Amino acid sequence: MTVSDPVSESSSAAPDRKVELGRDRPIRLDCGVEIGPITVAYQTYGRLNADKSNAILICHALTGDHYVADPHPITGKPGWWSELVGPGRLFDTDRYFLICSNVLGGCMGTTGPMEINPATGQPWGLGFPVITIGDMVQVQARLIDHLGIGQLFCVVGGSMGGMQVLEWAQSYPDRVFSAIPIAAAARHSAQNIAFHEVGRQAIVADPDWCDGNYLLEGKRPHRGLAVARMAAHITYLSEPALHQKFGRNLQNREAVAYGFDADFQVESYLRHQGSTFVDRFDANSYLYITRAMDYFDLAAENGGVLANAFRGTRTRFCVVSFTSDWLFPTAESRAVVHALNAVAANVSFVEIRSDKGHDAFLLDEPEFHATLTGFLNGAAAHRGLPGRGGASQ
């Protein structure tokens, strides 16, 4: 890995990486506040080639992190795309250099509300500035600078990760050779803002949230955060998936118990989703990151015309949606494709037939994986990268 900037870098147990960015040149956020220095936690897989043309930036979703293909340090579970990363796999570590960083405002090592504010010596809490998808991407661009990479071969991500892909393509078109926004949208819908608001209200309704100062008070708003996660989790699945997985099956019993314990398997499952989430996620981070998604509206930033976001682009796009995704339905992806078509961009659009809902991008979906492999192979050939096994395609 090449390090071009004179920045300090600490490395905990490999391959965890952290870098300090913005010490000499603070990062100006969309809200007008400047922050820096900040810490960015990231992970890499594979090796950067000599001309630095094989780097893929993977952008994680709302509650994801940079442990794409490593066991999660808290849960011990495999990384969220671990099946896709490795020699000969979709993200072929023999061919590509993969980078994923924890987003600004996150809670897995990158500067966010649970980290210490150097100015006060206390956790940022609600003193942390409100951030945007654009701010997250700006920080990622600083990381890419730090790694000495001019142009990324590809930027890819699902859900909020897909928003970041679109933001990259708008803000740094010359630095993005190809882009794969998956199960994403160019703006957060009213319904999605509403679901986020429910989650936020669940958190702030928890007295242990302590007006955002729970870390100072030695508390954690676990109950509120669990409710937020439960509500959100429903939106990640499809009704058919819930029906097939659980239906009205009862939990370890023959008949309903006429009570408020988890009678149905779907209740038990949801409670489990809520209770395990609070061990690995910070409530204030949840507030900030959901807010960043709410604010995302590429058309609004471009005079109300989404196509203006991509005018003149030479990036090759592959837009992917899933039929049963009702959180980021195909219509949202189609709007992106229409905008790209309007500026004669190079764009593929694939709607994958799946009953797995929004979370399909994290699950075993062979047609989806074949689509990404095909697109990456084609883009690699255009970029002049060697094919699988080292031969030029």
Catalytic positions, please? 159, 325, 358
Peptide bond connecting 181 to the previous residue in cis, omega within 30 degrees of 0: no
Q: Which of 78, 91, 96, 102 is nearest to 19 (CA)?
A: 102
Q: Which amino acid is at 314?
A: R
Judged by CB under 8 A, the number of residues near a second copy is 58
* Residues 54, 46: Cα–Cα separation, whole Å: 10
Binding mask 49-88 for a second copy (x = CB under 8 A): ----------------------------------------
The region of 101-109, 172-180, 221-229, 362-370 touching a second copy under the rule CB under 8 A is 221-229
Say whether residue 211 binds a second copy (CB under 8 A): no
Determine if residue 229 is labeled as part of a ligand binding site: yes
User: Can you list the alpha helix ranges (DSSP code H) found in 237-342?
Assistant: 239-245, 265-280, 283-295, 330-342
* Residues 173, 343: Cα–Cα separation, whole Å: 13
DSSP string, 203-249: HHTSGGGGGGTHHHHT---HHHHHHHHHHHHHHHS-HHHHHHHTTT-
Torsion angle, alpha carbons of 214, 16, 162, 148, to 10? 120
Residues numbered 238-267 forming contacts with a second copy, rule: CB under 8 A: 239, 242-243, 245-248, 256, 258-260, 262-264, 266-267
> According to CB under 8 A, which one of 39, 49, 93, 189 is a site residue for a second copy?
189
Say whether residue 274 binds a second copy (CB under 8 A): yes
Total count of residues recorded for the chain: 393
Cβ within 8 Å of residue 366, ≥6 positions away = none
Cβ-based nearer residue to a second copy, 242 or 343: 242
Residues numbered 326-365 forming contacts with a second copy, rule: CB under 8 A: 326, 329
Say whether residue 121 binds a second copy (CB under 8 A): no
Q: Write out the residues near a second copy by the rule CB under 8 A.
A: 30-32, 126, 129-130, 187-191, 193-195, 197-198, 200-202, 204-207, 223-224, 226-227, 230-231, 234, 237, 239, 242-243, 245-248, 256, 258-260, 262-264, 266-267, 270-271, 274, 287, 291, 294-295, 297, 300, 326, 329
Instruction: Could you list the residues known to form a binding site for substrate, using ranges.
Output: 229, 359
